[in-house]
């Protein structure tokens, strides 16, 4: 570590009151930026283990440390810099909403569009701002034109809301949803791509797939499936709820047709934020979910016709992106992978422990599921909460009965070890009667 960095960290950590005041006023962003500058040139895998650096990130969140939150897969807290900005925008918009919100804050959405597009490598004119992944994916799913008898294919591990959306189209439009099983954990991503290919029929008109599956953490081969689908003229709709903010990718490399995500998960933006990417040549013919003045317009904004919208939430996405880039996308991915390995490598030394995803960094990042043979996952979740105030969830899928463990950048290695110790105690002694 450089002298300037150590001196800077010592100074900011020791000057108690003053540093607290700085943290409150800026959310500690300047300390993260300084720490990041010192990390320049350090390989992400090495940076992932630098506890001085991650100490800065941990302090940027004002969270409840009386619990250990290993359920960031549901929804994530925002760091102070984002939360403070969100509250500031709310205060401003409330002064005279018809002026301060509509006239001054709402145009900030265009900056969000540009920043998101730059982050994921697409044209801003392909980027619609939504309230979450559900809204984004439903715009994609309901806007496609189908004939009765047309088929859409997806796995039996895709998210329930996207499944119910197709089910509604089955009832209204006479389409058919075909779900196929996938091996868990798979040998590798290419094996998964073959499953998609084998399930395409002459009636297949769309493919829905997750970029990262929420119940296992497995990363799916989006590019390979897109190549297979596009050779047959089939569009691919990607549910990226867990991938954006965890994995590093560019839309042009994925080459999918639609990509929806929430931003209140891994980007740590305010709750009620998401985006939908629509490939340029698909915008014109895609129906908006809520009617637009010209539903056949070649304008991505037609997918944002929800009426008066929450400008404060949307504008604070700007701060979330600044925070994300201040950490560094590669560094964040490497840290989440490191935290996952820290518990998974220790627990898998025990014969009764099973995992439901592949641990390689190209196959999963921070989300992973784990179980102990002979122990009911829901009972284990209750035990971890009641005895240790460790918060996680049980997955109850027909093929996956396990605990989903999802730390975040604010999670300390010590917290991970407390979870691992608690699990080892159960492996040794079982659950209390
Ligand atoms: C894979 C997947 N898709 C979509 C969603 C929906 O996200 P949201 O409720 O933010 O719309 C989730 C939420 O957990 C998810 O895990």
Looking at the fold, whether 235 and 376 belong to one and the same domain comes out as no
Residue 353 belongs to a domain with what CATH number?
3.90.1150.10
Determine the average pLDDT of the residues in 345-351. 97
Checking if the pLDDT of 10 tops 60, the result is no
Average pLDDT of every residue of the chain: 93
Nearest to 52 by CA among 114, 4, 96: 4
Looking at the fold, whether 167 and 147 belong to one and the same domain comes out as yes
Residue whose token pair is 């093929």: 399
Nearest to 270 by CA among 76, 71, 119, 112: 76
Q: Copy the structure tokens of residue 192.
A: 């998964």
Question: Is position 414 within any domain?
Answer: yes
CA distance 329 to 347: 28
Which pLDDT value is given to residue 349?
97
Looking at the fold, whether 334 and 204 belong to one and the same domain comes out as no
Length of the chain: 433
Give the number of domains in the chain.
2
Beta bridge partners of 405: 368
Beta bridge partners of 275: 129, 261
CA distance 405 to 391: 9
Q: Say how many Å lie between the CA of residue 162 and the centre of ligand 1.
A: 9
Looking at the fold, whether 171 and 299 belong to one and the same domain comes out as yes
| Burial of 138 per CB tally in 10 Å (0-12, 13-18, 19+) | buried
Q: Copy the structure tokens of residue 144.
A: 């496609």
| Burial of 281 per CB tally in 10 Å (0-12, 13-18, 19+) | exposed
Which pLDDT value is given to residue 26?
60
Atom of ligand 1 nearest to the CA of 73: 14
Looking at the fold, whether 371 and 431 belong to one and the same domain comes out as yes
Which pLDDT value is given to residue 357?
82
Question: Is position 60 within any domain?
Answer: no
pLDDT digits (tens, 9 = 90+) for 133-185: 999 999 999 999 999 999 999 999 999 999 999 999 999 999 999 999 999 88
Nearest to 151 by CA among 134, 173, 126, 120: 173
Q: Say how many Å lie between the CA of residue 65 and the centre of ligand 1.
A: 25
Atom of ligand 1 nearest to the CA of 210: 1
Q: Say how many Å lie between the CA of residue 276 and the centre of ligand 1.
A: 13
CA distance 213 to 216: 6
* pTM for this entry: 0.93
Residue 93 belongs to a domain with what CATH number?
3.40.640.10
Ligand 1, CB cutoff 6 Å, lining residues: 132-134, 159, 161, 210, 214, 239, 241-242, 262
């Amino acid at each position: 570590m450089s002298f300037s960095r150590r001196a800077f960290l010592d100074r900011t950590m020791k000057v108690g009151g003053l540093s607290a005041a700085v943290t409150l006023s800026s959310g500690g962003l300047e300390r993260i930026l300084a720490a990041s500058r010192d990390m320049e040139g350090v390989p992400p895998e090495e940076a992932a283990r630098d506890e001085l650096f991650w100490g800065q990130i941990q302090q940027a969140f004002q969270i409840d440390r009386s619990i250990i939150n290993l359920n960031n897969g549901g929804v994530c807290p925002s760091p102070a810099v984002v939360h403070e900005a969100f509250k500031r925008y709310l205060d401003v918009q409330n002064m005279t909403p018809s002026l301060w919100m509509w006239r001054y804050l709402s145009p900030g959405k265009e900056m969000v569009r540009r920043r998101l597009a730059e982050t994921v490598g697409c044209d801003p004119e392909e980027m619609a701002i939504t309230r979450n992944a559900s809204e984004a994916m439903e715009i994609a799913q309901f806007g496609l034109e189908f004939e009765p008898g047309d088929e859409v294919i997806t796995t039996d591990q895709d998210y329930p809301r996207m499944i119910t959306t197709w089910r509604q189209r089955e009832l209204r439009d006479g389409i058919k949803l075909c779900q196929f099983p996938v091996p868990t954990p798979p040998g590798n991503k290419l094996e998964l791509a073959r499953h998609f290919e084998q399930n395409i029929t002459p009636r297949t008109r769309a493919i829905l797939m997750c970029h990262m599956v929420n119940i296992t953490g497995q990363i799916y081969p989006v590019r390979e499936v897109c190549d297979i689908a596009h050779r047959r003229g089939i569009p691919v709709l990607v549910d990226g709820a867990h991938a954006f903010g965890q994995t590093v990718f560019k839309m042009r490399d994925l080459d999918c047709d639609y990509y929806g995500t929430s931003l209140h998960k891994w980007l740590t933006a305010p709750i009620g934020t998401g985006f939908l990417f629509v490939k340029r040549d698909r915008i014109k013919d895609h129906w908006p979910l809520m009617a637009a003045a010209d539903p056949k317009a070649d304008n991505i904004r037609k997918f944002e016709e929800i009426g008066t919208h929450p400008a404060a939430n949307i504008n604070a996405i700007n701060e979330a992106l600044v925070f994300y880039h201040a950490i560094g996308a590669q560094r964040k991915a490497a840290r989440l992978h490191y935290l996952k390995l820290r518990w998974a490598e220790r627990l898998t030394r025990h014969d009764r422990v099973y995992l439901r995803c592949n641990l390689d960094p190209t196959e999963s990042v921070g989300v992973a599921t784990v179980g102990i043979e002979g122990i009911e996952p829901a009972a284990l979740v209750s035990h971890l909460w009641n005895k240790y105030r460790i918060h996680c969830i049980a997955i109850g899928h027909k093929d996956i009965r396990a605990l989903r463990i999802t730390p975040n950048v604010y999670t300390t290695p010590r917290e991970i070890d407390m979870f691992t110790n608690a699990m080892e105690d159960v492996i040794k002694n079982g659950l209390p009667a």
